[in-house]
Every structure is written in C-alpha cells, then in structure tokens.
Amino acid sequence: MSHQNPVDTWVSLLVKTYKTFQPKKTTLNDIWTNCGLVVRRNKEKPLLPVKLSERKRPYGRDLLLHIPVGLSDLDFYRRYEKLCWAFNAEIELEPVNGKLLIRIMDQQLQKVIPFDLPQPPTMALPVPVGYSRAGLEWLDLAAAPHFLVAGTPGSGKSNLLHCLCAALYGIADIRIIDLKRLEFSYLRQHGVTVAATEKEAARVLLDLNHEMDRRLAVLEAAGVVKVQDYDGNMPFIVCIIDELAELQDDTCHSLLNRLLRLARACGISIVAATQRPSTAIISGDSRAQFAARLCYRVADEVNSRMVLGETCSRAAYLPTVPGRAILRWDKTREVQTMFLPVAEARKRLYERCPSPPEAPGIA
C-alpha cells in the first residue's frame, strides 16, 4: 500500500488550484458599478451605460456610450479621476450627439523627447509645449496670453522656458527676468533683455507697463479691441519670469499684477515659472489671470489643485520623470515637455544668428 506524503498532497493540490485559477477580468460594467455610474430604482434591474462601439486609435481606443436615463455627462466628469484609475489610463470625455465618447489613452509617453520645432499650426503666436499621447500640443500665446508653469525643483520648468525662447526668438520680442541669474544669460548676446536683479526686474516691468499704456491708447484710437485686429506694427512681447518666488519687491508685484490684469488685449504675455504656487507667492486673483497652466509633479493634491483648478489633483501622481506634466488649456492632458539643454539652446541660437546684436543695457 502506498502512502502519499501529506506535503506532496498539498503541493499537488496547490498546483491544481493554481492551474485552474483565472483572475477575474474587469468588465466595463464592473467599472461603471465601481465608479457609481449606475441607476438603481426600486425592484427594477439596475441601468448601466451601454457600449455602442469601440475603435482602436494610435493612443489606445475610443468607446462610444449610450448613457441611461438618470445619468448625464456631468456624472462622468465628476468621476473623472476615478475613471482614470479604473481604466488605468489617461482618459478624455467628449459629448457627441447625445452620446458620450471616452478616449482611453493607455500608450506610454516617451521619457526623453529632444527639442524639435515642426511646422507650427495656424495660430497667431504658437509655442510648442510638449507631447501628449495625441501628439505635439501647441499653445497659442495670443489666445491665452498668460501662462503659469509650476513644479517641484528639478521637474523641468527652466528647460521648458528655454524651449519657449527657442520657439519665440525672431517671432516675438522676448524679455526675461531670471533672478537665479545664470541660466538665461546666453540670450543677452542675442539681443534679448535679461534682468538678473530685482532692480532690473522692476525696470523691465515698469517699461512693459509704459508700453502697455501706450498700446492701449493706440488701440483705443484705432477703435479695435485687440492687437490681432490692429493694422499697424505691434509685435508680440513675451515676458518670461523664472522663479516668481524670487520676485519679492512690492513694486514688482504691483507692476506685474497690473500687466496680468490689463496686458492681454495689447499683445503682451507673461510666462511665469515657480516651485511654489501658493497664495503667498501669487494671489488667487493674479493666478486666475493665467488662462493656460502647466503643472509638473508637485508634492500633494492641494498644490496640484492650486495650479490646475479645483477638480485636478493629477499632478500629485505624475511619475517622477523630469519633463512630465499636466497641461491645462483648452483640454487637460498629460505631456512630456521637450528636452533642450542650455548648451544646445545656445548652439541653436548661434547657428540661426551668428553675429547677433548685443542686448541694450537695462537703464
């Protein structure tokens, strides 16, 4: 008579169980139920969203849904972040003829994308921000003149500002306030005003205020409400501020706030980067003037919402990849900003402009 060792019996039982074990696949209905997207009425069968079609896309797939009576698009928007977790992807919601399209973007973003400047789209002042899963995202600084960039140290803010300078050089009049003093000095040799002290910063901001007043008077006299409608010569001016927190002088703050409130119509943009988006650095009212925002990884959900708005905590959960951020403008998308090391930025400028004009000193 053969006696099987009890350990062997257990092992064979475990192997058998393991072989037959199939992890339950999450169905769409599980997702709707887990996210609370179900209508329950007394005794009736619960109603769930119905998938009408599914299409493969380069970024993942598109799902077209019929929404049952008792639910609306708004219920999906309110559960946006839950749905992202449930699909394990970045998603976009778009109402289409009474139905709802869910764009499920589950492709990985590249970790390093070297700077390149493809043919810009037809916008008045296009700047490339970075690659989302849907392709290169451009921002029109004429339509969204003020652009706020936030993120923890080393997340990629200054690098993005170098990319913007490379894209704007020769197209707009660039003025830089770099109170960290080192990074942007190479632009001085190319005719760009770079303020490196608070005194110089105050001068730059004062000049911009004067220019704004002059332009507002010209536009008023011409009877137009924005620079794009003006026939004469009024080039775009972009003032880039690297590290807003370093700008502590009250005069600078009031000059900057005035520009944020009034400059949008007259072709003057403010692009400001900061490690600390708190109200101590930039008041709620001034922050509201930034129509476009880019938030790299931040410490927590509060900081993410401070930059991207009440409903967006996503920047707290971004991977710790330099250059990875959430762009909020016409859409809210995860992007990888392009990489342009300073040496490369300098080289590109010399190639474009070998004997550049020296920047005028700041009086």
* Contact in structure between 314 and 304 (CB atoms under 8 Å): yes
269 is a contact residue toward Mg ion (CB under 5 A): no
Binding residue (CB under 6 A) for ligand ATP from 209, 275, 289, 303: 275
CA dihedral 292, 297, 298, 299 (to 10 degrees): 160
Q: Which one of Mg ion, ligand ATP, none interacts with residue 151, CB within 5 to 8 A by kind?
A: ligand ATP
Cβ-Cβ contacts under 8 Å for 296 (sequence gap 6 or more): 149, 150, 151, 152, 155, 156, 157, 315, 318, 323, 324, 325
336 is a contact residue toward Mg ion (CB under 5 A): no
Taking CB atoms, the residue at the shortest distance from ligand ATP is 323
**Residue closer to Mg ion, measured from CB, 133 or 157:** 157
x/- letters, 117..156, toward ligand ATP (CB under 6 A):
----------------------------------x-xxxx
Q: What is the closest distance, in whole angstroms, from the C-beta atom of residue 177 to Mg ion in the complex?
A: 13
User: Which amino acid is located at 91 in the chain?
Assistant: I
Q: What is the closest distance, in whole angstroms, from the C-beta atom of residue 138 to ligand ATP in the complex?
A: 16
Distance CA 295, CA 274 (A): 10
The secondary structure element, H or E, covering residue 137 is: strand 135-140
Strands 60-66 and 50-57: antiparallel
Taking CB atoms, the residue at the shortest distance from Mg ion is 158
Residues 132-171 within binding reach of Mg ion (CB under 5 A)? 157-158
Distance CA 218, CA 199 (A): 29
**Residue closer to ligand ATP, measured from CB, 75 or 344:** 344
**Residue closer to Mg ion, measured from CB, 13 or 112:** 112
| Sheet strands side by side (includes 99-105) | 50-57, 60-66, 99-105, 90-96
Residue ranges binding ligand ATP (CB under 6 A) = 112, 151, 153-159, 275, 322-323, 337-339
